[in-house]
Structure 1
């Protein structure tokens, strides 16, 4: 799963936006958590746009928005059969940019948070979006697609976000393509080298919105695979 991430306004993030034809800047945001508004890239009328969405998908058919079910992550393995996700998979896909994400590992009886961050790069997480309601009550929401951990990443957590390499961004965003044809893109992989660094547990509080404080050297690094 992935329940927290950071997004930094830096040349890597700007490069992602430039590559997708978006002439905007992203505001730096730390410790983004489910149900918060997060920046999402989707395609509308053949143009990629950047807009905030609620990070916790609300299916368009839901009677009311609620959080009874964990809808901020969507397992790649069951997207095609999920009542909530199979519809968005077809034509409502998005990219969620991230500069790093946070996972926890139990060590000596407590959960130690780690920042998983690309070395000289930015993550483009595969996501899905949906629209609930009408008029003033309209809510755009998204979910982050996860898959099994790539080799080496299981040291931290058995699952990870689906990370799209640049050559697949356009295909994933294209709503003309039926997403069922893109399922092979959701296999475990690391499109860029990453490092895993321990950070101060103060980040455990989702109200803490400061930059993660590194408390030691990288636990390990992994090359792209």
Structure 2
């Protein structure tokens, strides 16, 4: 599960947005499910952009999050079979830029940050037409657990793509690439970049409470 991440427009984030060719993000601090976030999409070839989205993929008929289903995450093992996600995985992939991710287990929390200065969470997005208003929603793809995160979060691993790999990012955002099998190898839970895990005070408190641990890429 990825239940929170945080966004600061620092030097690392500016490098990420420059590499992706989009405008700078706003510093919004901790983002939680059903809050508004900024995502990177490419709805048309060579029309990459930063846009607002609600972090909850499935809305009800009134345009509110459908809390019957926890769709702020999209599990990798259901991407190809779920009626909600299988079409989106073909043609509505996005990135959720973040300074880091917050993960917890047994009421102990850690921030996960990258040596690259920012992370690019792989996600899906969906368009809704509610009356005269068009709404965009998003979810973070989660993958199987990684043994390096034992004691930190053992249920799943958020999909964190290497945003410095230009070919990978171009493929991920390419709206003409509809063969989603091309991304199956990314859904293993492996760490694509080195990660630093830092103990923090709580799910909504980034104050450090212990020594960081550096985790190498797989």
| Pairing of 1:86-125 with structure 2 (within 5 A) | 86-106=86-106, 111-125=107-121
| Pairing of 1:43-62 with structure 2 (within 5 A) | 43-46=42-45, 47-58=47-58
Compared CA separation, residues 202 and 148, structure 1 to 2 (3 A)? closer
Report if aligned partners of 2:103, 2:203 keep a CA contact under 8 Å in 1: no
Match of 1:217 in 2: 211
Compared CA separation, residues 202 and 149, structure 1 to 2 (3 A)? closer
Gaps of 5+ in 2: none
**2:187 paired with 1:186:** yes
Other structure's SS at 2:160 match: coil
Within the candidate set 118, 140, 145, 2:141 is matched to 145
Match of 2:197 in 1: 196
CA deviation after TM superposition for structure 1 residue 80, in Å: 0.5
Report if aligned partners of 2:109, 2:152 keep a CA contact under 8 Å in 1: no
Report if aligned partners of 2:44, 2:175 keep a CA contact under 8 Å in 1: no
CA deviation after TM superposition for structure 1 residue 135, in Å: 5.2
Match of 1:39 in 2: 38
Match of 2:24 in 1: 25
Match of 2:162 in 1: 165
Number of aligned residue pairs: give it. 210
Report if aligned partners of 2:4, 2:30 keep a CA contact under 8 Å in 1: yes
CA deviation after TM superposition for structure 1 residue 118, in Å: 1.3
* Structure-2 separation of matches of 1:170 and 1:12: 20
Match of 2:122 in 1: 126
Other structure's SS at 2:79 match: helix
* Structure-2 separation of matches of 1:177 and 1:45: 11
Please give the TM-score of this superposition, normalised by the length of structure 1: 0.87
CA deviation after TM superposition for structure 1 residue 202, in Å: 6.8
Match of 1:208 in 2: none
The two structures, once aligned, show a CA RMSD in angstroms of: 1.7
